[in-house]
Amino acid sequence: MNTPIRFALAKGRLEKQCRALLTRIGYNCAALEDPGRRLLHTLPHRDPGRAPLEAVLAKAPDVITYLSRGVCGIAVAGKDTIMEQGGPFYELLDLKLGQFRFALAAPAGSDFFEGAEHRRVATKYPCVARRALAAQGIDAEIIRIEGSCELAPLLGLSDAILDIVETGDTLRENGLVILKDLMPLSARLIVNVAAYKLRRKEIDLLVEDLKGVIDNANDR
Ligand code: PRP
């Protein structure tokens, strides 16, 4: 019998699009349509000769931990999480899913660049923020927030935020504007180093299949 390849998938913004990609390359993703509280799901391939995937639904930062520690062989993670956490893995493919970006934002009308001596930036991505702000020559205190860092300037905890922006709705609805668009981001296929050595042929085949559907989607 084919041993499943364990595949970590971040719950949330990328999950649905990733499921659609896997379906297009022949995996039966019915188990992920309505997963309930189950966190492990087997996804058989339409070709019985191909190993199924064992999908692991996890929070984005944990995806990197499971992959780096070798309990998952492959994973899909946002470039935002990859840049924040790094780790010993190969980034094999840009899946071109998710049109989001890193941006520095602040309350409309505020004077972040010319204002206070002591600038404070709230973010879920302190490592990225430290690097990005240094590259822009901006000296600021970084305040780590776990979710909805848009709240921080509204509450007076920070002068600005560094966060991912997709539709821009969260910024708009909270009176914030982009000060600097820092970089585009998208989902990546990442692979554990040892798993790639052990199952290279199967993983390369999966990558080729994915490339085919991504390229076709972009041709349309
Ligand atoms: C992200 C990000 C923003 C929001 C931006 O949070 O931190 O809050 O999405 O998206 P938008 O531009 O489409 O409004 P996410 O929804 O991933 O959840 P979290 O705050 O729980 O981390």
The pLDDT value recorded for residue 42 is 96
Instruction: List, for residues 156-199, the tens digit of each pLDDT value.
Output: 999 999 999 999 999 999 999 999 999 999 999 999 999 999 99
DSSP E strands, 147-206: 160-165, 176-185, 187-192
The answer to whether the CB of 8 falls within 8 A of the CB of 60 is no
* pLDDT value for 116: 67
Hey, which residues does 120 pair with through a beta bridge? Answer: 141
CB 89 within 8 A of CB 67: yes
Among 80, 102, 162, 165, the mutation site with the greatest number of ligand 1 atoms within 8 A of its Cβ is: 165
Would you state the pLDDT for residue 217?
64
Out of 15, 17, 170, give the residue to mutate to test ligand 1, the one with the largest number of ligand atoms within 8 Å of its CB. 170
**For residue 100, which atom of ligand 1 is closest to its CA?**
12
Cα 185 to averaged position of ligand 1 atoms, centre (Å) = 13
pLDDT value of residue 190: 98
pLDDT at 14: 87
Q: Report, as ranges of residue numbers, the positions in the chain whose pLDDT lies below 50.
A: none
* pLDDT score of 218: 57
Query: Residue 5 pairs with which residues in a beta bridge?
Result: 53
8-state DSSP, 95:
-
For atom 8 of ligand 1, the residue with the nearest CA is 148
In order of start, what are the domains of the chain with their CATH numbers? 5-98+186-219 (3.40.190.10), 100-184 (3.40.190.10)
